[in-house]
Amino acid sequence: MQIFVNNPDFIVEDMLKGFVAAHPEVMLSPLNERVVTLKEKKEKVGVITGGGSGHEPAFLGYVGEGMLDAVAIGEIFASPPAQAFLDAMIEADNGRGVACLFGNYAGDNMNVKMAIQMAEDIEVKYVVATDDIASSPKETREKRHGIAGGYFMWKVGGAKAASGATLDEVIEVAQKVVERTRSICVGISPCTIPAVGTPNFLINEGTMEFGIGHHGEKGIESKALGTANEIAPEMTEAILTDFDFDENRNLAVMISGLGSTMLMEQYVICGQVLAILKEQGHQVEKVYVGNFVTSLDMGGLSLTIVDLDEEITQLLEADGQATGLKNY
């Protein structure tokens, strides 16, 4: 494995130093060098998230005006400790409470809840993203992981807070968009943790992992690698089946690369997905293509579909200036 690195054991620290040097609107918290926070504080509900490194621009890339106020950063694919979540809550708090919007993973769940218990003088409420349809059956949706669909929770929640909403209103709209979001990933090559230097799982040449997780968790099925025009319908149908719409809908569509997938490939898949949705009578209002939530250097991509309503659409269109927003 050839990468630009100093000591691979300290790649997260070096990344954070470079990130805050490149983006003067943010800084490392004086409370905790694993918390990225806005320099300029606003009188509003604070909005935070956190998670393991290796998914950039998530999570640090979504700190910005109209988005997140602070994030807790863990080691690669590892939850930040409870203290980091607590320090992010302290940084984001302006006396109006803090909304913690994070992905549904065991470590994050445990550490967020511990942090909330420690935050005695701060009102904190939380929402967990559960968009990964491959990680648990529809009957146990509450067990599903949060993947690229978390972007919509952060964007909508951040925009709602920026509008002057109460903590309960921020939580309500974040929960609503979570319930209306579905994602699925396809992996075609594994990722490599820098400190290890070799892939942490195997995808055989000529095969793909349909429904793979963001850390390399096995998917629904290992199968022969198909063409883009074969893969896109399968991903789209899996999500539409899970939604089980009884009428045509207004939708947002996101294609997010997993790390090493070219934009060229992402647009090939996107074109087919949009054609399928149009053919089935759905109206696609917003399209996102790029690297929004990645998995180190994994080859593959995720498809996310959001069932829009008027409020969600308006909040997605609200101003936001985080580095990971890609002008959306």
| Enzyme catalytic residues | 55, 215
Contact 304, 149 (CB under 8 A): yes
Report the C-alpha gap between 255 and 258 in whole angstroms. Answer: 10
Strand order in the sheet with 250-257: 221-224, 207-210, 181-189, 299-307, 250-257, 283-290
Strand order in the sheet with 70-76: 26-28, 35-38, 70-76, 46-53, 98-103, 124-129
Report the C-alpha gap between 304 and 327 in whole angstroms. Answer: 18
301 to 14, 176, 254, 264: CA distances (angstroms): 27, 25, 10, 12
